């Protein structure tokens, strides 16, 4: 099954191979492309570059904090590092890498030839990429005023009134605002494109109830993008009006409200966490069943839980603001709403475990990352429930406990499934397998590094270490814990090195994958690896949720069991 | 027997048009942007620490509002005419829409001129100025974008490049224009009725 195409007629065998193109032609083809696969790969490549950059910024922070009374970098540089690290990781790593996979996979999984609006797709990519370049150009061009500092240094949520012209002179904050504004425009464009593709371009027979769960999760994610990223864009416009035109939205001296910025930012900020994590769930939903050799357990419950998460996540934002003093009514509401969101999330974890249960599990590297994700996401959810109780949050808000909690989600859950997605879909994207031995090195080193860093980061938080401090005194009792946390970073850096080396080496020297190396069930595995420009020469027709299972097992097709 | 058949697609398999889905998504995202600006306007009502106040300086723009709201009807008639392949009638209604939209925009321009030069209210004056100009300005920006696109459609219609086949696209544009009008209903109620 691995070498021959499962779907006859999926690719056009009649066209003759062309001569090797010139480098300039290749460059021209990539810059002008509207093909969803190339755009998806560009998203992923651009996100990987920013992942390395933002990772190095984290390394600088951990070196600075490794021992007490350290002065490796200046306090100003430290402020820039945590601002740029957070902003980059959320807007220029997390979002583009997830949209990259979405762009690449959704049309293939739906049996479509491209996204609904290919040119809008290219526009969204380039405008978002330009936003990232603008943010980093601040290192060169942000110095609008002598000594005012270059890169943004206002923190990733840029609370007012620190962002006012008086407190942040120069242009660094303008670069932050404009970079995010552009990224937001690109994000909304891509989300619009994905939703339209899912509604309007499904192949015959691909009913909503037969779509792969990954597609469902992207659908909900993109609907959330509309209602979450819009407010962020609006808030950035307001901040620009304040900074450029002398407006007073967040100018406390003219009656403006700093708390309003917090509300607007977190109305975006909390759904954003789910926007990042739902596609990651989508990866797990595809990978866990294939390597358990079972259909996903509870497909309708998974969809319903996702929709529930989408709705509830819109009403939890003020749990980031318990320390503001919103009053008992608001505190109670947001505590309860935040706790309720654990219910649909728990349903998902039960479904994944039920899928694993009794399965014929194959521990490929992709599956190992997914299993680690299950445990780590559970822990991240448990500390999340702790923090959702507002009295507990009053104690630990703004401490390293919170930093450890959200890194457990962002790294332990999201980044782990993204790595799983790389090992799972790299063969489809490049035509070659990633090396499993190097992959296991990557997995174990990263797992050890992750747990050294983020397990032990909870402890200085409980001991009262605030986030964003530049350094700390000897007698605080945080020194040992910070040293362990920083040591974990070494493992993570080596692991990322293995991963990048694996990507580069396997791209040219990896084992040829064939169209369907994992014996999987969704439509992307029915065409060649890498897929031809047109994806499918003949648009397929499907009769169940696992079209390739039906094809491989005509005696016992899934369609017999569907309600 | 293969269940992934490669025969010609089933003609009964129809899905919504991508233009309509796309514009619906855009409207949802844009609504979120407008809601934030409206919330900011309402939140800052009466919080300015210096004058002028909305009650002192704002007049209800009745003519502009009538023009903008009736342009929804004319753009609807334009789409209906095009569906029946009456291109000349369609261009007539499109021209009427552009005219009505321009009158609205001229009314806003006149209002802003008076506010700036007679009452001394700019975006820097106080919170009312900041929120008023940004909310009404954001809406006016959308009117301008809509007018540019409607004018393009009108030019194409006059050049004879438009036919019944383009009715779907004009319908998408008309939905955007209806959205701009609907936003005005909210902005009008909040700024000129509740907030005054």
Write out pLDDT tens, residues B154-166.
999 999 999 999 9
A533, part of any domain = yes
B109, part of any domain = yes
A224, part of any domain = yes
Write down the pLDDT at residue A200: 95
Residues of B within 8 A of A114 (CB-CB) are none
B49 to A255: CB separation less than 8 angstroms, yes or no:
yes
A301, part of any domain = yes
Sign (positive or negative) of CA dihedral A34, A35, A40, A41: negative
B2, part of any domain = no
User: By three-state DSSP, how is residue A466 classified?
Assistant: strand
CA distance to partner chain B, nearest, from residue A428 (Å)? 20
A396 or B10, greater pLDDT: A396
Q: Considering only alpha carbons, which residue of chain A is nearest residue B12? A: A204
Distance of alpha carbon A46 from alpha carbon A126, whole angstroms: 11
Residues of B within 8 A of A227 (CB-CB) are 28-29, 32
A541 to B5: CB separation less than 8 angstroms, yes or no:
yes
Residue in A116, A191, A245 closest to B18 by CB: A116
Please tell me if residue A255 touches chain B, with a CB cutoff of 8 Å. yes
B5, part of any domain = no
Q: Considering only alpha carbons, which residue of chain B is nearest residue A192? A: B25
Predicted TM-score (pTM) of this structure = 0.94
Indicate the DSSP class of residue B102.
H
A31, part of any domain = no
A264 to B49: CB separation less than 8 angstroms, yes or no:
no
> Given pLDDT bands bounded at 50, 70 and 90, which one contains residue B1?
very low
Number of domain units in chain A:
1
User: By three-state DSSP, how is residue A22 classified?
Assistant: coil
Distance of alpha carbon B42 from alpha carbon B38, whole angstroms: 6
Q: Measured in whole angstroms, how far is the alpha carbon of residue A272 from the centre of its chain? A: 10
B131, part of any domain = yes
Please tell me if residue A275 touches chain B, with a CB cutoff of 8 Å. no
Residues of A within 8 A of B131 (CB-CB) are 249
Which two three-digit tokens encode residue A533?
Answer: 């420009």
- Do A194 and A219 form a contact (C-beta atoms < 8 A)? yes
B61, part of any domain = yes
Residues with Cβ within 8 Å of A394's Cβ and at least 6 positions away in sequence, in order, are: A322, A323
Q: CA nearest A404: which of A482, A317, A331, A326?
A: A482
Average pLDDT over chain B reads 93
Model confidence at B8: pLDDT above 90? no
CATH assignment of the domain containing A243: 1.20.210.10
Residue in B22, B33, B123 closest to A117 by CB: B22
Q: Measured in whole angstroms, how far is the alpha carbon of residue A149 from the centre of its chain? A: 30
Number of domain units in chain B:
1
Indicate the DSSP class of residue A432.
B
- Expressed as residue numbers, the domain containing B103 is 18-194
> Mean pLDDT for each consecutive 10-residue tract of chain A (563 residues)?
55 67 90 95 96 96 95 92 96 96 97 96 96 91 63 90 88 92 96 97 94 97 96 96 94 92 96 96 97 94 96 94 93 95 95 96 96 96 94 93 96 97 96 96 97 96 94 93 96 96 95 94 94 92 92 87 71
Which two three-digit tokens encode residue A203?
Answer: 């192949």
HEC string of A121-188 equals HHHHHHHHHHHHHHHHHHHHHCCCCCCCCCCCCCCCCCCCCCCCCCCCCCCHHHHHHHHHHHHHHHHH
CATH assignment of the domain containing B69: 1.20.120.80
Average pLDDT for B72-90: 96
B104, part of any domain = yes
A35, part of any domain = no
Which two three-digit tokens encode residue A86?
Answer: 């957070």
Q: Considering only alpha carbons, which residue of chain A is nearest residue B34? A: A234
Tell me how far CA of residue A544 lies from CA of A102, A290, A558, A561, B165, in angstroms.
22, 16, 6, 9, 35
Residue in B4, B7, B16 closest to A550 by CB: B4
Q: Considering only alpha carbons, which residue of chain B is nearest residue A536? A: B6
Residues with Cβ within 8 Å of A502's Cβ and at least 6 positions away in sequence, in order, are: A434, A435, A438, A439, A442
- Expressed as residue numbers, the domain containing A338 is 40-560
CA distance to partner chain A, nearest, from residue B124 (Å)? 5
Instruction: Say how many C-beta atoms besides its own lie within 10 A of residue A230's C-beta.
Output: 23
């Amino acid at each position: 099954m691995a070498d021959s195409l499962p779907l006859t007629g999926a690719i056009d065998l009649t066209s003759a191979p062309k001569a090797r193109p010139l480098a300039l032609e290749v460059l021209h083809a990539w810059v002008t492309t509207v093909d969803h696969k190339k755009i998806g790969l560009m998203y992923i490549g651009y996100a990987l570059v920013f992942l390395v950059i933002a990772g190095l910024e984290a390394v600088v922070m951990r070196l600075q904090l490794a021992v007490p009374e350290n002065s490796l970098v200046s306090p100003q540089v430290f402020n820039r590092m945590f601002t740029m690290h957070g902003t980059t990781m959320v807007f220029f790593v997390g979002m583009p890498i997830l949209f990259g996979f979405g762009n690449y996979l959704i049309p293939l999984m739906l049996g479509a030839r491209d996204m609904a609006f290919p040119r809008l797709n290219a526009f969204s990519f380039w405008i978002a990429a330009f936003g990232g370049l603008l943010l980093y150009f601040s290192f060169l061009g942000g110095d609008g005023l002598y000594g005012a500092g270059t890169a943004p240094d206002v923190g990733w949520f840029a609370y007012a009134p620190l962002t006012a012209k008086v407190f942040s002179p120069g242009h660094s904050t303008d670069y932050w605002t404009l970079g995010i504004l552009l990224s937001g425009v690109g994000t909304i464009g891509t989300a619009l494109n994905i939703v339209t593709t899912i509604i309007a371009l499904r192949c015959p027979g691909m009913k909503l109830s037969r779509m792969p769960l990954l597609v469902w999760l992207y659908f909900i994610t993109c609907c959330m993008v509309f209602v979450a990223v819009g407010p962020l864009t609006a808030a950035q416009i307001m901040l620009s009006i304040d900074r450029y035109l002398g407006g007073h939205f967040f100018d406390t001296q003219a009656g403006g409200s700093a708390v309003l910025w917090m509300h607007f930012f977190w109305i975006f900020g909390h759904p954003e966490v789910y926007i990042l994590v739902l596609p990651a769930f989508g990866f797990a939903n595809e990978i866990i069943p294939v390597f358990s050799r079972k259909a996903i357990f509870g497909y309708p419950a998974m969809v319903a839980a996702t929709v529930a998460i989408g709705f509830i996540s819109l009403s939890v934002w003020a749990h980031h603001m318990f320390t503001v003093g919103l009053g008992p009514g608001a505190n109670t509401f947001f505590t309860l709403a935040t706790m309720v969101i654990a219910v649909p999330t728990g349903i998902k974890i039960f479904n994944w475990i039920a899928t694993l249960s009794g399965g014929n599990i194959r521990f490929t590297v992709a599956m190992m990352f997914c299993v680690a994700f299950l445990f780590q996401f559970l822990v991240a959810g448990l500390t999340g429930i702790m923090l959702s109780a507002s009295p507990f949050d009053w104690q630990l808000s703004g401490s390293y406990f919170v930093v450890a909690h959200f890194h457990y989600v962002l790294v332990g859950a999201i980044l782990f499934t993204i790595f799983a997605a790389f090992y799972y879909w790299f063969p489809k994207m490049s035509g070659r397998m990633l090396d499993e031995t190097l992959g296991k090195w990557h997995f174990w080193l990263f797992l050890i590094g992750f747990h050294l860093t983020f397990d032990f980061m909870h402890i200085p938080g409980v001991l009262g270490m605030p986030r964003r401090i530049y350094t700390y005194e000897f007698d605080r009792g945080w020194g040992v814990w910070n040293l362990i946390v920083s040591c974990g970073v070494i493992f993570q850096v080596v692991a990322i090195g293995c991963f990048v080396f694996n990507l580069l080496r396997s791209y040219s020297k990896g084992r040829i994958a064939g169209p369907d190396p994992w014996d999987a069930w969704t439509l992307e595995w029915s065409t060649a690896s890498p897929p031809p420009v047109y994806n499918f020469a003949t648009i397929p027709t499907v009769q169940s949720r696992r079209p390739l299972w039906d094809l491989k097992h005509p005696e016992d097709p899934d369609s017999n069991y569907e309600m | 027997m293969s269940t992934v058949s490669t025969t010609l697609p089933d003609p009964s398999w129809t899905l919504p048009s991508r233009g309509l889905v796309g514009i619906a998504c855009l409207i949802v995202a844009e609504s979120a942007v407008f809601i934030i600006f409206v919330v900011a306007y309402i939140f800052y009502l009466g919080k300015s620490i210096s004058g002028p106040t909305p009650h002192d300086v704002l007049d209800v723009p009745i003519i502009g509002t009538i023009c903008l709201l009736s342009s929804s009807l004319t753009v609807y008639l334009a789409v209906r005419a095009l569906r029946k392949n009456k291109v000349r009638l369609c261009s007539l209604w499109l021209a009427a829409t552009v005219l009505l939209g321009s009158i609205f925009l001229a009314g806003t321009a006149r209002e802003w001129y008076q506010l700036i030069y007679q009452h001394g209210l700019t975006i820097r004056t106080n919170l009312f100025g900041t929120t008023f100009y940004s909310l009404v300005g954001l809406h006016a920006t959308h009117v301008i974008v809509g007018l540019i696109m409607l004018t393009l459609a009108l030019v194409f219609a006059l050049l004879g490049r438009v036919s019944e086949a383009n009715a779907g696209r004009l319908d998408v544009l008309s939905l955007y224009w209806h959205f701009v009008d609907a936003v005005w209903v909210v902005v009008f109620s909040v700024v000129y009725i509740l907030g005054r």
